[in-house]
Amino acid sequence: MHPDHTTPVSTPPPAPSRGGRRLRNIVVTMALGATMFAVGAVMLTPGGNSAPRPAGHGRPDEAPRGSIEALQARVARLPKDPGGWAALGMAYVQQARSTADPATYDRAEKALRTSLSVQGEGNTDAETAMSALAAARHDFPAALRWASKATTSGPYSSSAYGVLADAHTQLGHYDEADEAVQKMTDLRPDAASLARASYAFELRGDTSQARALMRRSLAAAATPADKAFAHNVLATLDLQDAEPRSALAETQVGLKATPGDSALLETRARAHQALGDTTKAIADYRAAVAVAPLPHHLLGLGELEQSLGRPEQAEENYALLRAQDRIREAAGDPADTDAILFEADHGNARRAVTMAEQTLRTRPFVAVHDAYAWALHRAGRDAEALVQADKALALGTRSALFRYHRAAVHHALGDREAARRDLTEALREPVFHPLHADAARALLQRIDNTP
């Protein structure tokens, strides 16, 4: 999965549900959309909708056209242009996502509030961007409120339905997310909607459909950022299928087009690690951290250094993670899953439980259930941990880390057979984690050697 850097592995998909039927409809929509594009039957407006809409309803969930400097010049020239302020706000959101600079989120909010002050009603661009900003800050209830406003003011805006799908997903409203993705693809089967459809299938463990849809998203990608994202997802899917050479090749192609992309650098580091080349893995991790010191970059590098017996180098990254968490806590923001897992593994397990409980109140997403399960296990509360671990895997998500976490819980509760099943599935991706993969092998061997 993409969010919070979870690492998937194979499990059977769940029985079809109402959401599953909707996902199959998405595939039908995609197939029809591809056919219509091929024969030129779909006429899309520049803003991205295949139906009439008010002027100015663009696609602010994607990178706006032009640089931040150009957009700043535009609003300086046209200070009463709500679309210009909305585009600048979204550009800041995108910049903050890639640089991990929280001050940029403040600049984004200021630009978007200015847009809304100029045009308070029917400002779909700004409402969509405000939803994206709230999601980037992990305030998913606010993201849902803004996305609902955007889909009301812009019922033909595919971008508005995209951020609506994102908010529902992170809030654990998976059927509602599927409905929003379906609407988005009906309006515009482009790179953004294909990517979201791909993720809907990935969450349910159907990685073959996820890969096929992401390939089509790559083919439809119009910007270097869209292409880099698609290459990164495809490489991540290769890693979970224990195909690190394919993952390495995918990241190499992506980095040729977008050198210095931190997500691709991190995924290439994981591919090198899976292939046993820890020197190159560390170099890529360090390059990713230099571009964007995001928590999962720091945690991945720190745990790789720790696995290689370099505690001082690991501690440098852990110190940065602790500093970031102090800033988060002071701001009153919920913790992300990397922070919870870091605290559970390298800090105070009881504090990790508290962090997870706070996050789960506003983000009941599968990755948060997993992090909560692990924190509870590390705190010795395994009966409660099993409930959360089951919720993390309820959709059929293919995650080696989720499986290992549940295996450890099962073992602590004395269910060796359940632990063996989960460990076997986790180790289908042999190098799923720099520390826990070896622990999974050791635990499986102990179970097999116990009469």
Domain boundaries, the chain: 11-220, 335-451
Q: What letters, b where the CB count within 10 A reaches 16 and e where it falls short, cover 70-80?
A: ebeebbeeeee
The DSSP secondary-structure symbol of 415 reads: -
Mean pLDDT to the nearest integer, 307-329: 96
Topology annotation, domain 335-451: 1.25.40
Query: Which residues make Cβ contacts (< 8 Å) with residue 205, sequence separation at least 6?
Result: 10, 11, 12, 13, 14, 395, 396, 397, 398
The confidence score (pLDDT) of residue 5 equals: 40
The confidence score (pLDDT) of residue 12 equals: 29
Distances (CA, A) of 114 to 211, 304, 424: 40, 44, 54
For the chain, the average pLDDT equals 88
pLDDT, tens digit, 9 for 90 and up, residues 414-432: 999 999 999 999 999 999 9
Chain-centroid distance, C-alpha 147: 18
- What residue type is 279 in one-letter code? T
pLDDT, tens digit, 9 for 90 and up, residues 17-49: 344 445 656 554 444 343 333 322 222 222 333
Are the CB atoms for 408 and 421 separated by under 8 Å? no
Q: Is 205's pLDDT higher than 70?
A: yes
Query: Which residues make Cβ contacts (< 8 Å) with residue 3, sequence separation at least 6?
Result: 170, 365, 367
The confidence score (pLDDT) of residue 4 equals: 52
Split at pLDDT 50, 70, 90, the class of 98 is: confident
Length of the chain: 451
As a whole number of angstroms, the distance between CA 78 and CA 300 comes to: 45
Split at pLDDT 50, 70, 90, the class of 3 is: very low
The confidence score (pLDDT) of residue 294 equals: 93
The confidence score (pLDDT) of residue 49 equals: 31
- What residue type is 1 in one-letter code? M
**pTM to 2 decimals?**
0.87
Short-list 309, 431, 450, CA closest to 441: 431
Mean pLDDT to the nearest integer, 6-19: 33
Short-list 179, 229, 216, CA closest to 200: 179
As a whole number of angstroms, the distance between CA 346 and CA 340 comes to: 10
Short-list 427, 316, 436, 425, CA closest to 10: 425
Residue 317, helix vs strand vs coil: helix
Both ends of the chain: CA-CA distance in Å?
37
Split at pLDDT 50, 70, 90, the class of 99 is: confident
Residue 441, helix vs strand vs coil: helix
The confidence score (pLDDT) of residue 92 equals: 95
Q: Longest C-alpha distance within the chain, in Å? A: 78
pLDDT, tens digit, 9 for 90 and up, residues 129-176: 999 999 999 999 999 999 999 999 999 999 999 999 999 999 999 999
Short-list 297, 359, 114, 430, CA closest to 441: 430
The confidence score (pLDDT) of residue 11 equals: 28
Q: In the numeric block, which tokens belong to residue 426? A: 């986790």
Q: Report CA dihedral (329, 370, 391, 380) to the nearest 10 degrees.
A: -90
The DSSP secondary-structure symbol of 120 reads: -
Architecture of the structural domain at 11-220: Alpha Horseshoe (1.25)
Q: How many CB atoms lie within 10 A of CB 165?
A: 26
Domains 11-220 and 335-451 share a fold: yes
pLDDT, tens digit, 9 for 90 and up, residues 267-300: 999 999 999 999 999 999 999 999 999 999 999 9
As a whole number of angstroms, the distance between CA 7 and CA 25 comes to: 27
Distances (CA, A) of 95 to 105, 107, 247, 447: 9, 11, 26, 48
Helix then strand then coil, in percent of the chain rounded to 5, is 75, 0, 25
Q: What letters, b where the CB count within 10 A reaches 16 and e where it falls short, cover 392-401?
A: bbebebbbbb
Distances (CA, A) of 227 to 68, 96, 255, 332: 20, 19, 10, 35
The confidence score (pLDDT) of residue 66 equals: 60
Are the CB atoms for 81 and 75 separated by under 8 Å? yes
